[in-house]
Chain A
Amino acid sequence: MSSRGSGGRSNGALPQTKICQFKLVLLGDMAVGKSSLVLRFVKGQFDEFQETTIGAAFLAQSVCLDDTTVKFEIWDTAGQERYHSLAPMYYRGAQAAIVVFDITKPETFERAKAWVKELQRQASPNIVIALAGNKADLAEKRLVEYEEAQSYAEDTGLLFMETSAKTAMNVNELFLAIAKKMPKTDTQNPTHAARHRGVNLQDPDAHSTRACCGGN
């Protein structure tokens, strides 16, 4: 949050603000805290950037990064084994992924590795993958060592952080790290920014009031 370009968001004052929009998919075993993590991130931000969504499975949130506003569209997936085969539908076209595991449950770490492997094999080649060891507040129950996860992440070229959705530890940092890693050249990409918000995004209210152009 500290890295939000403070003061940089006065309405209409930033004609040159770039908007990048990215699809970010959340993967990980059931109950590792995927949605809590994202919700913490979303709720922890300023309301100004928050979009009303109908539920926590899809959330959108923007962060400011210097002269760029990075908007994440966050797609949650069901972590159950039985729904595994549906995951490709969700990570198709995603530019970023957070693979979450629970540091108190080693099997979720194994599962996370499987996800990473699958993503690297099947998702967009340039996808930015972050590994999140969640529930770091439960240090006394830890069963996955930090070093183990850290070295795995290094070997596979992932961003890695231990997080706690409960205490908000490293939550914003994780998203900011991802935001920084995203190719800013994608800005104004017709696929994303331009197609979604156009070039002029100075009015933060615009979205809610205009979302219903289908209404007539």
Chain B
Amino acid sequence: MAVHASVNGTTAIPWRGSRKKLSLLEKLRSCQDAWCPGAPWDRDRAHAAISGAPAGSFLVVRDSVTSQPCLLCVSAGDQNGEVLDYNMNCTGTAFQVSASRLSFSELPQLVLFYSLSRDVLAVCLSIPSLIYSKSEMNKDHLSQLEPNTWLSPPPEYQTEEVPQKEPSHVMCSIQLTSSNGALCIINPLYIHEHGDEWLTHKPAGLQLSHIRRERRLSTTRTWAGAGIQSKRATSLDQESKYSNTEAAGLTRARSADSPLTPQTPTEVVLRRPSRDLTCSIHQRASTGSLSTPTTPGTPEQHRHSSPVPQSPHRVSWIEDGVWLPPPRPSSLLQPPSLELDSLSISSIEEEQETQIASPTPHHPSAHRLADKVMHRLSAVGQALGGLVSQKKRLTNRVVELSERKGTAFGETVKSFVEVTLKGGSDPSGPMGAEFLQEVRSSLSSLREILLDYPDIQAILDSITDLNDPEIDSLVEITLHKVALKPVSSHLYSCIHTARTNDGSFQRLQGNFLVLEKNGVEELGGSKGVGVPDPLTLDRIQQRWASMHEAYSPNKKIQILLKVCKSIYHSMSANATSSTGTVFGADDFLPCLTWVLLRSNLISLQVDTDYMMELLDPTQLQGEGGYYLTTLYASLFYINSFQPRLAARQLSVEAQHSINQWHRRRTLHCNKSRRSVQRRTIRRQMAKQNLETETKSKSKSGTENESEEAGVTGQSTETSTEADFMPSENTECEQELEDQPQTSVQTDFQAAKQQEMMTSEQEDRLSVCTETEETKDDSDEELKGDLR
């Protein structure tokens, strides 16, 4: 039975994960009796309770005999009060909605998953807002919840959106409010004593939009900041188009630096470095290569030089400000908007579909909200200028670009997410590793587009203490935030499906039973080598869980390294024959295998595939690359364990798989090398590097070729790959055609050209792997590509 590991809420709602309080999963566990009550609750009673409740309201009914969960009752949310039933299977350690292939090791995980992703359900499960809001409550409170309270929270909890009712205490606050360049840090105690009316004083006409904005932002995070006007330094087109009043309130803080901006005298102000803005505008004007319209009088510039009086731009960062007045009643809010949705993956999915239907520019999406919160936090950093790392500025800028309509990057991110969420499950399209490679390839393309933005370049160039690969990695991580985060859950289920279909999971489970009792010495470890004690093993399991929650492959690697470190520690600390021996791979691999046999192999396999396919090629080297290889190897060992066969015999399948992976990654490595190259060229260090790149290219060509030589029966694989390349190309073209704005044409053509070039190059490489004789020619062509 395949057990899908926890897809914790933090995958989709990362800011929640950073809170270090009870996670949603933990809360769900604590109040399991409320949503999965025992006798006398049965189907009828559950139906009666759920009927008429908001869509997604649910209860899990236990079997009257076995008292195992057997039925999931979900409110369809329609007017007839229809309740949908889904049968559930529980096989000891795994919980499953019968219609779905996904299994979970515990019921709360299942619930959490279905609250984020609909899968086979008609609607996503809805977790009552009071659960979100009870973060400060202890587990006792949660465990005392009744099913009826669960379904219909008492009125004081019936806020529409998730986190408004955060009971809280003052932890920290920085208030930054801007209109003309001064920096203001406000002691929260002052506001506690004197109120914050002086902060919120503003033209009456703006009130509504501020409230509205307030509320929107507050939906993204469990914090009620009604009293402090929260203005992120943002320049979202759609926001400025909400209404005239709104537009007045939402111009970016940067515009405060614009000489054309009239100052409102009463404002408290926020300092923002103006240098970069001027610089980037200048660059835009001069290079003309940015995708935002570059002609004078474009909307972008209008915004900057808007003669409309500016309202204050304030950034506030308040953790749990108990001193704040309660949020304004939601009845003042108008009109109800989609962003009040659950902020789940599925809600993003739905929204994006809506966006396709009516691509109105002022349609905020849920994940953008999440990013805004991040922004807001980092806006503080921006405001503090030199005090906070430039990295945050980069992150900000990238997130901002991804949010903005009409930019090549923003549109490409958007269509990437759309395409990805639709892909990977259609047997006629690419699946499994191939699909992930498409994703990887798109990430690389996105990075290319990003690096073409003069202001991104300006930020990168200002980060003087980073070298190229570190910058790459920085950009890559930023990309993960805007591109991978919305799709990671979907990718998990794609990997899961692919691994289920190719029998890997079955073999893993089967061999697990064979190997599970083996001690570390039976696995090949030297006598006396230590293994993690139960406590450490527990901690390792937690780490694995958080590794699964991380959407960024780079973050996953970091966690993997932590696990490896604690395994190393146990190897010496718990060694029985301690002689101070050095433990190398001879002992580490068996120990890791031992640990894996005590972990959730399925979820580890999913994560390993995720990392192997999606990591930036640079990350496949070094320590991270080594331990990822070892994790992969160890899983591979378990997967292909054949007690009867001579261990030495390398199955064709085994080698096939390795070669296949390596070829995929080599191809993209090439692409990535190229990307570095382009940038380096821009930085006028072209000559030297060009030579070496050419060399590296020919080198990788020969590497591929040598792989081919070592293996037989590869022809099918190669042809698959050849099929795969053109399809990727097509997809790219299609994306390009989708772009409505003519103003972005230049950029897109550039991007397209690059993409085509790269694809051609890959095609050549794959051809090159097929026929040894063509090697020299290919190399020549590759050299040609560089010019």
Contact = CB atoms under 8 A, between A and B. Distances in A.
List the 3 shortest-distance A-B pairs measured between CB atoms, nearest first: A198-B467, A35-B584, A76-B585
A54 B568 contact: yes
Interface stretch (B214-222, B425-433, B558-566): B558-566
A132 interface: no
B585 A196 contact: no
A31 to B, nearest CB: 7
B389 interface: yes
Given A56-B584, A188-B692, A190-B693, 7 more contacts: A54-B565, A58-B626, A83-B633, A88-B655, A186-B696, A188-B688, A199-B468
Contacts of B710: 121-122
A123 interface: yes
A64 B473 CA distance: 27
Given A54-B568, A86-B636, A195-B468, A34 B477 contact: no
Given A56-B583, A57-B630, A200-B467, A85 B654 contact: yes
A185 interface: yes
B582 A39 contact: yes
B588 interface: yes
Interface string B468-481: 11101110010000
A191 B696 contact: yes
A83 to B, nearest CB: 6
Contact of B637 (A53, A83, A186): A83
Interface string B649-672: 111001100100010001001000
B470 A86 contact: no
Interface in B612-647: 618, 621-623, 626-627, 629-630, 632-633, 636-637, 640, 647
A167 to B, nearest CB: 16
Contact of A84 (B618, B636, B648): B648
Interface of B: 389, 391-392, 395, 465-470, 472-474, 477, 524, 526, 552, 554-555, 558, 561, 564-565, 568, 582-586, 588-590, 618, 621-623, 626-627, 629-630, 632-633, 636-637, 640, 647-651, 654-655, 658, 662, 666, 669, 673, 676-677, 680, 685, 688-689, 692-693, 695-696, 699-700, 702-703, 706-707, 709-710
B623 A58 contact: yes
Interface string A24-62: 001000110011101100000000000001111110100
Contacts of A35: 582-586
A181 interface: no
Nearest to B683: A199
B636 A57 contact: no
Interface stretch (A2-10, A156-164, A206-214): A206-214
Interface stretch (A89-97, A102-110, A147-155, A169-177): A89-97
A80 interface: yes
A118 B755 CA distance: 37
B622 A213 contact: no
B561 A54 contact: yes
A173 to B, nearest CB: 21
Nearest to B627: A58
Contacts of A216: 389, 391-392, 395, 477
A78 B529 CA distance: 14
Contact of B706 (A54, A123, A185): A123
B477 A83 contact: no
Contacts of B702: 124-126
A79 interface: yes
A140 interface: no
A89 B468 contact: no
B573 to A, nearest CB: 13
Given A84-B647, A191-B669, A213-B474, A78 B524 contact: yes
Given A194-B468, A195-B676, A86 B633 contact: yes
Contacts of B637: 82-83, 85-86
Given A190-B676, A194-B689, A82 B647 contact: yes
Given A55-B565, A190-B696, A214-B555, A122 B585 contact: no
10 contacts: A30-B526, A31-B586, A55-B588, A56-B582, A58-B626, A73-B626, A78-B589, A85-B647, A86-B633, A123-B706
B622 to A, nearest CB: 6
A89 B629 contact: yes
Interface in A128-144: none
Given A31-B526, A58-B627, A214-B555, A23 B468 contact: no
B588 A189 contact: no
A212 to B, nearest CB: 8
Given A194-B676, A199-B685, A214-B552, A124 B470 contact: no
Given A122-B710, A199-B467, A55 B564 contact: yes
Contacts of A79: 585-586
A81 B706 CA distance: 24
B689 A188 contact: yes
B469 A194 contact: yes
By secondary structure, the B interface counts as: helix
Nearest to B588: A57
A31 B655 CA distance: 26
Interface of A: 23, 26, 30-31, 34-36, 38-39, 53-58, 60, 73, 75-86, 88-90, 92-93, 121-126, 185-191, 194-200, 206, 210, 213-214, 216
Given A89-B633, A190-B696, A210 B466 contact: yes
B456 to A, nearest CB: 16
Contacts of B630: 57
A135 to B, nearest CB: 14
A191 B561 CA distance: 23
A81 B685 CA distance: 48
Contacts of A194: 468-469, 676, 680, 689, 692
A88 B662 CA distance: 10
Contacts of B650: 84-85, 88
Contacts of A124: 699, 702-703, 706
Given A58-B626, A88-B658, A122 B586 contact: no
Contacts of B392: 216
Contact of A213 (B470, B647, B666, B700): B470
Given A80-B524, A92-B658, A124-B706, A55 B647 contact: no
A206 B465 contact: yes
A198 B712 CA distance: 38
Nearest to B374: A216
Chain A CB within 10 Å — which of B465, B561, B640, B699 has the most? B699
Given A90-B629, A190-B676, A77 B585 contact: yes
A214 B558 contact: yes
Contacts of B469: 194-198
A213 B186 CA distance: 30
A78 B640 CA distance: 17
Contacts of A83: 524, 589, 633, 637, 647
A77 to B, nearest CB: 5
Contacts of A206: 465, 467
A78 to B, nearest CB: 4
B623 A34 contact: no
B449 to A, nearest CB: 20
Nearest to B589: A78
Contacts of B468: 194-195, 198-199
A97 to B, nearest CB: 14
A19 to B, nearest CB: 10
Contacts of A76: 584-586, 588
Contacts of A85: 637, 640, 647-651, 654-655
Most chain B Cβ neighbours within 10 Å, of A35, A78, A187, A200: A78
Given A195-B673, A213-B473, A190 B565 contact: no
Contacts of A30: 524, 526, 586
A155 B662 CA distance: 31
Contacts of B583: 35, 55-57
Nearest to B583: A56
A200 B471 CA distance: 14
